[in-house]
Chain A
Amino acid sequence: MGVKLLLAKAHIEGIRSYDVYRREGGYQAVEKALKTMSPDAVVEEVKKSGLRGRGGAGFPTGMKWSFIAKPEGVPRHLVCNADESEPGTFKDRYLMEHIPHLLIEGLIVSSFALGSNNTYIYIRGEYAWIVDILEKAIEEAKQNGWLGNNILGTGFDCNIYVQRGAGAYICGEETALLESLEGKRGNPRIKPPFPAIKGVWDRPTVVNNVETLAAVVPIINLGGEEYAKIGVGRSTGTKLISACGNINKPGVYEIDMTISVEEFIYSEEYCGGIKNGKRLKACIPGGSSVPILPANLLLKTAKGETRYMNYESLSDGGFATGSMMGSGGFIVFDEDQCVVRHTYTLARFYRHESCGQCSPCREGTGWMEKILLRLENGHGKMSDIDLLWDIQSKIEGNTICPLGDAAAWPVAAAIRHFRDEFEWHVLHPNEAQVRNFGLAHYADPLQVPAGA
């Protein structure tokens, strides 16, 4: 069993309520931080922990915190990003639903570190019931003196507010989120200025993911150095992975980042292998925006080394032969899945979710969707494949926010690794309507579940 820090107590009966959470050692991190540490010391501890943002980009959290501007007399804000709308990602939901006080505790400590007296949780509108859970938790925390004015007699004031989004993926992008939080249309801002200088209402702001902020609790409890001992290299601590697709046990797993991808997919402790005894074809290891990998490149890197479930190993090989940890949305495909259809589905998603501000993303995503649909329906041409490649390359890097890249990468990776499947769709249009391409060389050598 790997180390569990976030979900270790998530299964205790009643942990959602304040009393049980407190009895199980909850809010000790707030006590420790507020009573015995200075805000800067908390930031220092988070730096030492090596914690990296869990929202997708993996930016070192301590460093991000130290960038926040501190102009005299201007309030600062912490904003928790609970918009979680990336296809395949549902880890924050699990955390907030089962152990909401962990997030609230993390928010209080982090607000203290950053000097945020008014902290916001921006949550996707579809998580309507979780809003109730969070508001109840906030109310309980307030009644027990963990929120409000002069917390624990330290003079530190903190309030937490929950703001619901209205169902746009783009509002998870941090500057779009801030616009939306201000009550405006959720268009990403043009950076610079960065939120650390001018964020919500032009005040210095830090935006962090739910899991990132929850991880601050074990960091304070254990100390940054102890936390950093879990994991390997620059992948410290534990990571929540939401696993879905053709596996026996979909769900949210907390891993310490030392296990191999193979172990994660095939061991009984985690995904429990591919469903119905089928074979593994491909996998998107970090949410819909990261490159898809064929089975052979997933389990082993191009150099033939075992691939592990951590930031460095998943991105080994760059975009040519690697992928990314992303937000931890682990989507597994078995031999019956069609990569063209899947790529079309993602393209449709990104087209629908583009905010429409910049021309390459607004027009390019729709164009890619149309071509992919044509290919999937057997009306495609060979030249469509190169055209798709060209379109994605003209979107990537040329847009305001990373949604453009996120729309381009899945298409690029699918063509890069599964070009033969696209060509098969063109050459066998009728057959492609009745059966799937199945496996090809990229599923060799097939892994026999190790020790399973």
Chain B
Amino acid sequence: MAEETLFKVTIDNITVEVPAGTTILQAARKIGGEVTPPAMCYYSKLQGSGGKCRTCLVEVSKGSEKDPRPMPKLVASCRTTVMDGMEVKNVTSPRVQEARAGVVEFLLINHPLDCPICDQAGECHLQDLSYEHGKEGSRYEFQKRTFKKVDLGEYIQLHMTRCILCYRCVFAADQISPKREHGVLDRGDHAQIATFIQKNLHNEFIGNVIDVCPVGALTDKTFRFKNRVWFTKPVNAHRHCDKCCGEVQLWLRGDEVFRVTARKDEWGEVKEASNGKTGWICNDCRFEKKNLADWVIEGPTNVNRHSVIAQNKYVGLVKPTETFPAIMKGRNPKLLMDIHSVSEVNKPNIHLSQLERPAHSTDFNQ
């Protein structure tokens, strides 16, 4: 085998080596932490995804060793491949921060902000994004665009008003389900995910659109309004399935299986299965196996993304990489007071995953 060409790329003063053809985003993910741009539409396992949401814009301050000219425009890091000697600025570029805050504001002007009644809350990428990159308020003073809720059959609910048109579900239906029966209808800010003439979405793998949806636009009807995700406990489990890998994440409360999803990595993407094949799961496993007896439990899931659910003290919580000193070239100023350790509101010594049932305030007030 020919030796792989490695390119050196420096992102926010941190240098990594990646194979030629790697995107800036993937290189940044290799570094991890703050250096990684947020990605709302890109999904490494879906071909053709990315480039749309513009949250991952970065500044290329040096094109490459050969051609050091900077790129005039900010580029979508998810669709721009690295060159040898490229220098990229993400958190160190005020231009990027400005543009990204703009994108977040755009994404939110028509978003209903109905997190309190949204099943996605707690594991929503738009929540993370607006918390991390948005401004406190909105300058939008008009009526928001709304759509009627659409029932896509017995398993999937479409709440178009929350959709950010990332197209992931379209790619997913195309690439991993036997048949795509929905798509994007109309254009501009009146574009919508639809089946054209109202149809049910049901084929063996269509449930995966719920897993790829970064927001609460596509939700699991078998789980709708049953519980808040942070009250349920994720455990890894598997079963023998002749349709899919059968490796899933169960979301439990006591012995009750509230929800079944595919296993996800720290970027929120469905992981590969242990045999190296894809980790997408079939509708049977997702919707029809809601008894603990259907599954072999492997143990608690490592929650390693910094979203709300990670705030609970799950066993094996992997903290995001701390890149700050590296970005600041050695300096490590204290930027935020750690309010949790000061006020101890969440009693960091209490491990929720060790409780047999959901936590209540009594657990904290002991």
Measured CB to CB, the residues of A under 8 A from B are 168, 170, 185, 190, 351-360, 362-367, 370, 387, 394, 397-400
Given contacts A170-B187, A362-B191, A394-B99, contact A357 B165 (CB under 8 A): yes
Q: Are B184 and A354 in contact (CB under 8 A)?
A: no
Q: Are A356 and B189 in contact (CB under 8 A)?
A: yes
A93 to B321, CA, bound (A): 59
Chain A residues near B107 (CB-CB < 8 A) = 359, 363
Chain B residues near A185 (CB-CB < 8 A) = 183-184
With both chains docked as a complex, state the minimum distance between the C-beta of B235 and any C-beta of chain A, in angstroms.
36
- Interface members, chain B 47-95 (any A CB < 8 Å): 50-55, 57, 73-74, 76, 79
Given contacts A190-B51, A398-B74, contact A359 B142 (CB under 8 A): no
A-B contact pairs, 26 of them (CB 8 A): A170-B187, A185-B183, A351-B188, A352-B188, A353-B188, A354-B188, A355-B188, A356-B165, A357-B165, A358-B53, A359-B103, A359-B165, A362-B106, A362-B165, A362-B188, A362-B189, A363-B106, A363-B107, A363-B110, A364-B106, A365-B189, A366-B189, A367-B109, A370-B142, A394-B103, A399-B54
Since A356-B184, A394-B102, A398-B74 are in contact, a sample of 15 more A-B pairs with Cβ atoms closer than 8 Å, ordered by chain A residue number, is A185-B184, A190-B51, A190-B76, A355-B188, A355-B191, A356-B190, A357-B167, A358-B52, A359-B54, A359-B164, A360-B102, A363-B189, A366-B110, A366-B188, A397-B74
Given contacts A351-B188, A351-B189, A394-B99, contact A357 B109 (CB under 8 A): no
A351 to B106, CA, bound (A): 14
Q: Are A168 and B187 in contact (CB under 8 A)?
A: yes
With both chains docked as a complex, state the minimum distance between the C-beta of A169 and any C-beta of chain B, in angstroms.
10
Is residue B140 within 8 Å, beta carbon to beta carbon, of the partner chain? yes
* Residue in contact with B103 in the complex, picked from A356, A360, A366, A370, CB distance below 8 Å: A360
Given contacts A363-B106, A364-B106, contact A400 B183 (CB under 8 A): no
Chain A residues near B105 (CB-CB < 8 A) = 394
Q: 1/0 per position for B194-238, CB-CB distance to A under 8 A?
A: 000000000000000000000000000000000000000000000
A218 to B99, CA, bound (A): 46
Q: Are B187 and A354 in contact (CB under 8 A)?
A: yes
Chain A residues near B187 (CB-CB < 8 A) = 168, 170, 353-356
With both chains docked as a complex, state the minimum distance between the C-beta of A198 and any C-beta of chain B, in angstroms.
13
Is residue B139 within 8 Å, beta carbon to beta carbon, of the partner chain? yes
Chain A residues near B109 (CB-CB < 8 A) = 363, 367
Given contacts A185-B184, A359-B106, A365-B189, contact A400 B142 (CB under 8 A): no
With both chains docked as a complex, state the minimum distance between the C-beta of A83 and any C-beta of chain B, in angstroms.
15
With both chains docked as a complex, state the minimum distance between the C-beta of A318 and any C-beta of chain B, in angstroms.
14
A353 to B189, CA, bound (A): 10
Interface of A is mostly: helix
* Residue in contact with B140 in the complex, picked from A367, A397, A399, CB distance below 8 Å: A367
With both chains docked as a complex, state the minimum distance between the C-beta of B46 and any C-beta of chain A, in angstroms.
14
With both chains docked as a complex, state the minimum distance between the C-beta of A224 and any C-beta of chain B, in angstroms.
31
Chain A residues near B51 (CB-CB < 8 A) = 190, 357-358, 400
Given contacts A190-B76, A363-B110, A397-B73, contact A356 B188 (CB under 8 A): yes
Chain B residues near A353 (CB-CB < 8 A) = 187-188
Chain B residue at minimal CB-CB distance from A397 = B73
A356 to B74, CA, bound (A): 20
Chain B residues near A355 (CB-CB < 8 A) = 187-188, 191
Chain A residues near B79 (CB-CB < 8 A) = 190
Chain A residue at minimal CB-CB distance from B40 = A359
Given contacts A397-B73, A397-B74, contact A360 B54 (CB under 8 A): yes
Chain B residue at minimal CB-CB distance from A186 = B187
Highest count of chain B CB atoms <10 Å: which of A359, A362, A365, A370: A359
- Interface members, chain B 110-137 (any A CB < 8 Å): 110
With both chains docked as a complex, state the minimum distance between the C-beta of A407 and any C-beta of chain B, in angstroms.
10
Chain B residues near A394 (CB-CB < 8 A) = 98-99, 102-103, 105-106
Chain B residues near A366 (CB-CB < 8 A) = 110, 145, 188-189
Chain B residues near A357 (CB-CB < 8 A) = 51-52, 165, 167
A189 to B140, CA, bound (A): 30
Chain A residues near B139 (CB-CB < 8 A) = 387
Q: Are A359 and B53 in contact (CB under 8 A)?
A: yes
A353 to B190, CA, bound (A): 10
What 6 A-B pairs come out closest when comparing CB atoms? Answer: A394-B102, A356-B191, A363-B106, A190-B51, A354-B188, A366-B189
Chain A residue at minimal CB-CB distance from B78 = A190
Chain A residues near B76 (CB-CB < 8 A) = 190
With both chains docked as a complex, state the minimum distance between the C-beta of A394 and any C-beta of chain B, in angstroms.
3
A190 to B188, CA, bound (A): 17
A353 to B55, CA, bound (A): 22
Chain B residue at minimal CB-CB distance from A190 = B51
A182 to B186, CA, bound (A): 18
With both chains docked as a complex, state the minimum distance between the C-beta of A380 and any C-beta of chain B, in angstroms.
11
Q: Are A398 and B54 in contact (CB under 8 A)?
A: yes
Given contacts A190-B76, A359-B107, contact A398 B102 (CB under 8 A): yes
Chain A residue at minimal CB-CB distance from B140 = A367
Given contacts A357-B165, A359-B106, A360-B106, contact A400 B52 (CB under 8 A): yes
Q: Are A365 and B99 in contact (CB under 8 A)?
A: no
Chain B residues near A364 (CB-CB < 8 A) = 106
Chain B residues near A351 (CB-CB < 8 A) = 188-189
A8 to B74, CA, bound (A): 45
A246 to B140, CA, bound (A): 36
Chain A residues near B98 (CB-CB < 8 A) = 394
Q: Are B52 and A354 in contact (CB under 8 A)?
A: no
A237 to B225, CA, bound (A): 68
With both chains docked as a complex, state the minimum distance between the C-beta of B54 and any C-beta of chain A, in angstroms.
5
A200 to B140, CA, bound (A): 40
Chain A residue at minimal CB-CB distance from B185 = A185
